[in-house]
């Protein structure tokens, strides 16, 4: 199973050329196996980016999310109490960004490899990552 970082979700659907070749291959392989995860917290983060005009989508945000939900093999994972608690108590040292902490905690909770281009997450030894 894989978990897409928020920017990977956007790039996968809107600008796949921005993904690494390895990331594209792993996403397609896991899509076929129905093992592509996206945190519901990424929907929150995406909403903020659109609202603050840091990102513009080609369609309405609600439709963007609905279109993603219709892709076979993709599952949105809610932030449950275990993930919320783990995000505050991650082992070792990790930077304080709440979105990254929630996503890392979600990947750890699911036993998933996180697909991300974020160097701060790649440098964190307590989550499996790929780019």
Q: What is the pLDDT of residues 35-60, one digit of tens each?
A: 999 999 999 999 999 999 999 999 99
CB 4 within 8 A of CB 24: no
Query: In this predicted structure, what is the pLDDT of residue 11?
Result: 97
Query: In this predicted structure, what is the pLDDT of residue 105?
Result: 98
pTM score over 0.85? yes
Phi-psi region of 76 (alpha: psi -120 to 50; beta: other; left: phi over 0): beta
CB 106 within 8 A of CB 113: no
Query: In this predicted structure, what is the pLDDT of residue 112?
Result: 98
Q: What is the tens place of the pLDDT at every residue in 68-93? A: 999 999 999 999 999 999 999 999 99
Query: Residues of the chain with pLDDT > 90: what percent?
Result: 99
Q: Which domains does the chain have, with CATH numbers?
A: 2-130 (3.40.50.1010)
pLDDT mean over 100-104 = 98
């Amino acid at each position: 199973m894989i978990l897409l970082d928020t920017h990977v979700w956007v790039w996968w659907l809107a600008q796949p050329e921005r993904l690494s070749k390895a990331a594209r291959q792993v996403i397609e392989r896991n899509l076929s196996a129905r093992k592509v995860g996206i945190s519901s917290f990424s929907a929150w983060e995406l909403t903020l980016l659109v609202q603050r005009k840091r990102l513009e989508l080609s369609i309405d945000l609600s439709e963007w999310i609905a279109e993603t939900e219709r892709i076979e093999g993709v599952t949105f994972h809610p932030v449950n109490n275990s993930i919320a608690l783990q995000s505050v108590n991650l082992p070792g040292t990790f930077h304080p960004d709440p979105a990254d902490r929630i996503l890392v905690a979600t990947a750890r909770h699911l036993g998933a490899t996180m697909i991300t281009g974020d160097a701060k997450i790649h440098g964190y030894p307590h989550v499996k990552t790929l780019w």
